[in-house]
Chains A and B, each alone.
Chain A
Amino acid sequence: MNGSRRLSLIILAAVLVVFVVSWILHTTGFQGDGAGTWLSVRDGFLVTLAAFLTLAIFSFLYKDNPYYKFAEHLFVGVSAAYWMCVGFWSTFVGNFIPRVSHTLSDFFQVPYKGFNVFYFVPLILGIMLLLRLSSKVGWISRWALAFIVGTTAGLNLIRYLRTDFITQVSNTFVPLLVDWKGIGPFFSDLSLSASGQFMLTLSNWVIFIGVFSGLIYFFFSKEHKGLFGTASRVGIWVLMITFGASFGYTVMGRVSLLVGRLTFLFQDWLGLIN
């Protein structure tokens, strides 16, 4: 037995020992009505398993290893099965059966909502999609796919045109000077508060210049040279500053997720935090 294999076995043995010890400690330390019953055994196992899988995933930060592979494959398999069950119970049983069959509704214990023949349309489209698995009649699935893509594109055209286009164009019509009463009052009442005249005026300028130059950056029919190129450069600067702010904001959210996981490990599993 070579060294690396021996080391792997030692690590595996250590992991198993820690797992069993943690399970026992959580079972015996269970406080509540279920103490000493299978409930405490179950909860002890689940907490230990969750901690083990968390650390297995974290081990990826070092390098790929069998524990990460185990956690990854378990996660993929369980999630695929879970979403299949959710899809069956929420879509098929929750939406389709209550509208086509009283008998099946009673069998699945869901309230019958009345027969609606239109619900056979998605059923037929779904079957057409599944025909993809057959090499002979797989071409039928393209029709169902065309319907899905075409309908969604048509609906989204109106939605995006309204929210991302017309509304945004309208919001670009901003006054150059907000509540302008003259240079004297402007400087005498100068304030950096968000609702102050100076900040509102500045934000209007940023909105207009940012939208104008950003649109120029995304103009693909002309080379970005000369004055056009300069405006495009301003546009990409505006974009990058926005992305930087978004990056910082999102990273804070991700750190909070990490804090949540570490809290689970140190509080729920190790009990080091009260």
Chain B
Amino acid sequence: MKHKLLIGCCLLLLPLLAPAWAQEAPVADTTTDSTAAMQAPAPVTDLTARDKENDHGHGIVLEWTPSVDDDGGLNNVFGYVIQRAESPDGPFEERGRVPIGAGGYDDIGSKERESDGFMPDYVDYYYLVRTLTVDEAVYTDSDIIGPVQSYGQWFNTGRIPVLFFVIGFMILTMYFITKARGGAKLFVRRLAGIEAVDEAIGRATEMGKPILYVLGLGTASDIATIASFTILGRVAKKVAEYQTGLIVPCYDPIVMTVAQETVRTSYMDAGRPDSYSDDMVYFVTQSQFAYVAAVNGTMLRELPATNIYMGKFFAESLILAETGALAGSIQISGTDEIAQIPFFVVACDYTLIGEELYAASAYLGREPVLLGSLKAQDYAKAAVIILAVIGFITINFDWGGFKQLFQVLD
């Protein structure tokens, strides 16, 4: 038993003694390693340089065959340094470094003239690739390659699938708009939120209270805001006919401009241009929560019978909806901001989810352009469903080529 204990202790102590042995062994090994480090590695071969494709310029792609001493031969390669000059005689400046095994490098510069990394197009560049060892004083340069110039391309071939879909969608849209203009009746299913708008306007008229219409925090170029303008036009026309009050506080000055035009036109269409006043549609501020504070104050002071929130909303959505509920208003909302839809769903009486907002503008306006676009979207959705089913089948039977058709390269 004691012998076994002694042997066990010796075995345990063995690792403690190993460093002492290891210190002795490398004397010969260090000599061998330093000898190998002093030898310069073989250079890279087959170095090529070309303009980077499918970009706006300011980029060169370099490719080479790694040194034979990279993971073979002398096995002393530490990495590669890419150097560039505007003349074959230099001076060469370092453009980047890549680790061992690398066979290429993208030399991408900035397009900003005042930037430090500015890389002008249509300038001759010369490259070499330096093969480094651990000791950076020991290296080998490849042959100098060049001249090569960078330039931008007009057409990005990696985005051809996008082109096909754009063309397909445009053909569908133009077909249905033409059909709608020709007088064809295009069916759009009932949307509960929109049918409630007329009812809500009637309620406001009976109660003698105004309607508050909030266009959201988007700009005039946001799709949700554009859809909201159409709905505002419809609401304003009804309001003008019923002689109800309308309050439209705006977040964006340009949105205010468009909204004023829309409401003025609606009042004129309703035959009541004298009832319109620019004070109905006013700018508040472009600060998110200051805007919300002002609208909340308006809700509790003016006590509108109906609140309509249509457009782009962010964190203020629940604050608006809850305050409106506190004021006892009937509330109809619509937004394409996915994160805000839950708040509108819980706090408003009717909510238009995402694309229903866009459909609502077509449903209310009944303009051929809007109806035709909506129909085209529906057929695009049908195409997506069919493509999804085909893709689902092909991927499950390992027919992988179909998915490649949808790959869009940067």
User: Which residues in A have some Cβ–Cβ distance to B below 8 Å?
Assistant: 57, 60, 63-64, 68-69, 71-72, 75-80, 82-83, 111, 113-114, 129, 132, 141-142, 145, 148-149, 151-153, 156-158, 161-162, 165-167, 169-170, 172-177, 208, 211-212, 215-216, 218-224, 239-240, 243-244, 246-247, 250, 254
Contact of A113 among B114, B169, B290 (CB under 8 A): B114
Pair A83/B187 contact, Cβ less than 8 Å:
no
B290-311 CB mask vs A (1 if < 8 Å, else 0) is 1101101100110000000000
**Contact across chains for A243 and B294 when beta carbons are under 8 A apart:** no
Choose from B161, B353, B385, B395 the contact partner of A215 (Cβ within 8 Å).
B385
Instruction: Check B338–A246 contact: CB distance below 8 A.
Output: yes
Residues of B within 8 A of A219 (CB): 378, 381-382
A221 and B375 within 8 A (CB)? yes
Nearest-neighbor residue (CB-CB) of B327 within chain A:
A64
Give the 8 A-B CB pairs with smallest separation, nearest first: A79-B287, A152-B221, A173-B391, A247-B342, A170-B406, A243-B342, A79-B290, A80-B285
Compute how far the CA of A242 lies from the CA of B122 in the bound complex, rounded to whole angstroms.
52
B293 touches A175 (CB 8 A): no
Q: Is the CB of A148 within 8 A of B165?
A: no
Highest count of chain B CB atoms <10 Å: which of A64, A79, A162, A173? A173
State the CA gap A221–B315 with chains docked (Å): 33
Residues in A whose Cβ lies below 8 Å from that of B161 = 166
CA distance A67 to B187 in the complex (A): 53
Most buried by A among B114, B186, B300, B406: B406
- Kindly supply a per-residue 1/0 record for chain B positions 153-173, scoring 1 wherever the CB is within 8 Å of any chain A CB and 0 otherwise: 000000101100110010000
Interface centre among B113, B293, B345, B395 (most CB of A within 10 A): B293
Q: List chain A residues, Cβ under 8 A from B346.
A: 247
Which residue of the partner chain A has the closest CB to B169?
A161
Are A161 and B162 in contact (CB-based, < 8 A)? yes
Q: Contacts of B226 on A, CB cut-off 8 Å?
A: 149
**A159 vs chain B, min Cβ distance (A):** 10
Q: List 11 A-B contacts (CB under 8 A).
A: A114-B114, A142-B261, A148-B220, A170-B407, A172-B388, A172-B391, A172-B392, A173-B395, A215-B385, A219-B381, A221-B379
Shortest Cβ distance from B398 into chain A, in angstroms? Answer: 9
Taking a contact as CB atoms closer than 8 A, the residue among B162, B189, B387 that contacts A220 in the complex is: B189
Tell me whether B342 and A250 are in contact (CB under 8 A): yes
For residue B366, CB closer than 8 A to chain A, the reply is no
- Using a CB–CB cutoff of 8 Å, the interface residues on chain B facing chain A are 113-114, 159, 161-162, 165-166, 169, 186-190, 219-223, 226, 254, 257-258, 261, 284-287, 289-291, 293-294, 296-297, 300-301, 315, 318, 338-339, 341-343, 345-346, 353-356, 359, 374-375, 378-379, 381-382, 384-385, 387-389, 391-392, 394-396, 402-403, 406-408
Once the chains bind, are A239 and B353 in contact (CB under 8 Å)?
A: yes
Whether A64 contacts B113 by the Cβ 8 Å rule is no
Question: Contact: A212 with B388, CB < 8 Å?
Answer: yes
Minimum CB–CB distance for B387 against chain A, Å: 6
Q: Is the Cβ of A218 less than 8 Å from the Cβ of B345?
A: no
Closest A-chain residue to B379, C-beta based? A221
Q: With A161-B169, A172-B388, A173-B392 given, is the CB distance from A57 to B287 under 8 Å? A: no
Enumerate chain B residues within 8 angstroms of A208, measured Cβ to Cβ.
388, 392
Give the nearest-CB partner of B165 in chain A: A161
| Chain B residues whose CB sits within 8 angstroms of the CB of A82 once the complex forms | 287
A169→B286 contact, CB < 8 A: no
Contact A175 B284 (CB under 8 A): no
Q: Which residues of A contact B223 (CB under 8 A)?
A: 153, 156
Residues of A within 8 A of B407 (CB): 170
Known: A64-B297, A72-B293, A80-B285. A215 touches B188 (CB 8 A): no
CB contacts (< 8 Å) of A243 on chain B: these are: 338, 341-342, 345
Contact pick for A57, options B188, B293, B301, B396, CB 8 Å: B293
Whole-angstrom CA separation of A247 from B318 in the bound complex: 10
B258 touches A161 (CB 8 A): no
Tell me the bound Cα distance from A153 to B345 in angstroms: 28
Q: Flag if B287 contacts A75 (CB, 8 Å).
A: yes
> Quick one: which of B220, B221, B287, B339 contacts A250, CB cutoff 8 A?
B339
A239 to B341, CA, bound (A): 10
Given that A162-B408, A169-B388, A173-B391 are known contacts, is A145 also in contact with B254, CB under 8 Å in the complex? Answer: yes
**Cβ contacts under 8 Å, A162 to chain B:** 159, 162, 408
